[in-house]
């Protein structure tokens, strides 16, 4: 349930509500806006909500109590009806701002990641991406450079002034990765790794959660609730394509599912046309379609020499191709009324 405090409520009023929740062994999440404070109660059983809501509504400073029946409570539109923005460093995603995350699938060398970082920044990218821990289908494929690659990514970000994002795969890696990046990514294969989601929620950095390629929209939203319940609402949801019967492309970019998610949550949603389509020549078309459909951001893979890439070369744009795409993205963004 959501407890909405009056604009003139005091800190003592807020703490009084939190104390009452603690008496019932409920958790809470505090959101302090410009005009009022909202407290999300976590763990209230459905059969108690009506009675407890009535009790809480009588406490000093409480304006109203809204029971929420959806399984994703903190990230729902009922909690916050207005779209929210998430900052990755100085890059804004959501609430009328379109951010672009770009870079190679994998960090391969200092020269490769720095060259790519300079190219994507010059073209207008907001955030630098690069995989350093790589979940691969085959154990014999390139698995990434680990912490060594993370250091290369951090140095490229520092050299260009771009905030950085990379994927974390293991609970034991979260702290080390979070110390060096501006945003932690949870990949599609780990979307329902609940211990990892909880740890990411506590890491102190924004989290980008990719939708599992066999997961429903509701499962995706429930997974993001794990992150929210354990510490942060600075969450970006990433639609990266789902598995369907179609084999002409790598996956199917589910713009309909993205639209449903936008209706259900206030969190910003970004689209990853590179992983969903898997064919570089088709990535621009799907990127533009995602912007037109309301995406708050894009994830685009860029490599200076895709034919020599150690992973996902066929879906990677060249720097020149990315520069051209950014020009077209700005046109579409302007047409749908967002700032790119």
Average pLDDT over residues 209-224: 97
Q: Residues 286-296: pLDDT tens digits?
A: 999 999 999 99
Of 65-74, 202-211, 319-328, least confident by mean pLDDT is 65-74
Do the domain assignments include residue 56? yes
Pick 27 or 242 by higher pLDDT: 242
Report which secondary-structure segment, H or E, holds 200: helix 194-201
- Same domain for 168 and 35: no
Do the domain assignments include residue 119? yes
- Same domain for 38 and 117: no
Distances (CA, A) of 108 to 100, 111, 151, 180: 21, 8, 12, 18
The per-residue pLDDT of the chain, averaged, comes to: 94
Task: Reduce the DSSP state of residue 104 to 3 states and report it.
Answer: coil
- Same domain for 61 and 156: no
Residue 136: pLDDT over 70? no
**pTM of the predicted model as reported, rounded to 2 decimal places:** 0.85
- Same domain for 241 and 141: yes
What is the percent of the chain where pLDDT is above 90?
Answer: 82
Domain range enclosing 61: 2-66
Which pairs count as long-range contacts for 150-155, CB under 8 Å and 24+ apart, including other chains? Answer: 150/107, 150/176, 150/177, 150/180, 150/181, 151/180, 152/107, 152/109, 152/110, 152/113, 152/114, 153/107, 153/113, 153/128, 153/180, 153/181, 154/180, 154/181, 155/110, 155/114
- Same domain for 25 and 147: no
Do the domain assignments include residue 72? no
Q: What is the CATH number of the domain that holds 106?
A: 3.20.20.70
At 67, the pLDDT band (50, 70, 90 cuts) reads confident
- Same domain for 278 and 180: yes
At 33, the pLDDT band (50, 70, 90 cuts) reads confident
């Amino acid at each position: 349930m959501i407890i909405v405090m009056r604009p003139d409520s005091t800190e003592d009023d807020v703490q009084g509500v939190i104390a009452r929740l603690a008496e019932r062994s409920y958790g809470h999440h505090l959101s302090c806006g410009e005009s009022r404070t909202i407290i999300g109660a976590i763990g209230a059983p459905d059969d108690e909500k009506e009675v407890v809501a009535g009790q809480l509504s009588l406490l000093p400073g409480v304006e109203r109590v809204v029971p929420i029946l959806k399984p994703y409570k903190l990230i729902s539109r009922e909690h916050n009806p207005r779209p929210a923005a998430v900052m990755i460093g100085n890059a804004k995603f959501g609430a009328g701002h379109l951010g672009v995350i770009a870079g190679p699938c994998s960090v391969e060398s200092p020269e490769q990641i720095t060259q790519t970082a300079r190219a994507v920044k010059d073209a207008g990218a907001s955030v630098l991406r690069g995989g350093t821990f790589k979940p691969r289908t085959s154990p014999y494929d390139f698995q990434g450079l680990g912490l060594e690659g993370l250091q290369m990514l951090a140095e490229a970000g520092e050299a260009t002034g771009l905030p950085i994002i990379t994927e974390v795969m293991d609970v034991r890696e979260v702290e080390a990765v979070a110390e060096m990046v501006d945003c932690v990514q949870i990949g599609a294969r780990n979307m329902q790794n609940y211990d990892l989601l909880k740890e990411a929620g506590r890491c102190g950095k924004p989290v980008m959660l990719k939708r599992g390629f066999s997961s429903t929209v509701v499962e995706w939203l429930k997974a993001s609730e794990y992150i929210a319940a354990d510490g942060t609402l600075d969450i970006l949801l990433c639609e990266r394509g789902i598995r369907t019967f179609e084999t002409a492309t790598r996956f199917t970019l589910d713009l309909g599912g993205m639209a449903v998610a936008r209706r259900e949550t206030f969190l910003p949603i970004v689209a990853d046309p590179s992983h969903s389509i898997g064919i570089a020549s088709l990535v621009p078309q799907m990127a533009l379609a995602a912007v037109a459909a309301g995406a708050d951001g894009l994830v685009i893979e860029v490599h200076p020499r895709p034919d020599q890439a150690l992973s996902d070369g066929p879906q990677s744009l060249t720097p020149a191709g990315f520069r051209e795409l950014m020009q077209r993205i700005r046109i579409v963004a302007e047409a749908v009324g967002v700032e790119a």
